[in-house]
Amino acid sequence: MRVVKRRALRSRVRREMRRSRSEFTNKAASTIKFGEGFAKKIIKTGVAKRAKVLALQGELGAGKTTFIKGFARGLGIKGKVLSPTFILIKKFAIRNPQFFNFYHIDCYRLKNPKDLLDLGFKKIIAVPQNIVAVEWAARVKSILPRKIIRIKFKTIDKNKREIIISK
């Protein structure tokens, strides 16, 4: 029985490894560049059945907002991406004829996932032409769609970060 369990675990780990990729950056500007390139890739995949939802995780200062700055740039957004300290949701128009809006959501100060539902989260993610990035996504895990792009940020040292993307 134990052997079977171990085998199942090993194949799950292998599957995860295949589906995830990791990138190291050694300065904030590189994380911005990486985010920009990633947005361009996302745009290329075209509009699907549902909104594209990026779930970002990682401790304070790990680089989530920095990545989103580049990501927004890659979507052709001119507006400034800030750490939305008091604002929970910020909306930007995507400069691409196929897509509508980009939503930057920061759940750090969120008390309850319901508060995000009250702000129309379900409606936002129901629109296939929207792209949504959620910081501190684990705080709203219960209301996230099944299909998300997970992006994990790890602080290696002062200027080095690991960014792990899995679907």
Ligand X SMILES: Nc1ncnc2c1ncn2[C@@H]1O[C@H](COP(=O)(O)OP(=O)(O)OP(=O)(O)O)[C@@H](O)[C@H]1O
Q: Which of 31, 39, 75, 99 binds ligand X (CB under 6 A)?
A: 31
Distance CA 61, CA 77 (A): 23
Amino acid at 41: K
Q: Amino acid identity of 8? A: A
Beta-sheet strands, E only, within 28-111: 52-57, 89-93, 101-106
Q: Does 110 bind ligand X (CB under 6 A)?
A: no
Q: What is the per-residue burial (b if ≥16 Cβ within 10 Å, else e) of 131-154?
A: bbbbbbbebbeeebeeebebbbbb
Which residue has the CB atom at the shortest distance from ligand X? 63
Return the number of the residue (11 or 159) whose C-beta is nearest ligand X: 159
Q: Return the number of the residue (122 or 160) whose C-beta is nearest Mg ion.
A: 160
The answer to whether the CB of 133 falls within 8 A of the CB of 162 is no
28 binds ligand X per the rule CB under 6 A? yes
Residue keyed to tokens 């379900």? 122
Which member of 35, 63, 70, 74 binds ligand X (CB under 6 A)?
Answer: 63
> Residue 84, SS3?
coil
Segment near ligand X (CB under 6 A), from 40-48, 60-68, 70-78, 109-117?
60-68
Binders of ligand X among residues 121 to 150 (CB under 6 A) are 135
**In whole angstroms, how close is the CB of 113 to ligand X at the nearest point?**
18
Any contact of residue 65 with ligand X (CB under 6 A)? Answer: yes
3-state secondary structure of 49: coil
Query: Residues in the site for ligand X, rule: CB under 6 A?
Result: 25-28, 30-31, 58, 60-66, 83, 108, 135, 153, 159-161
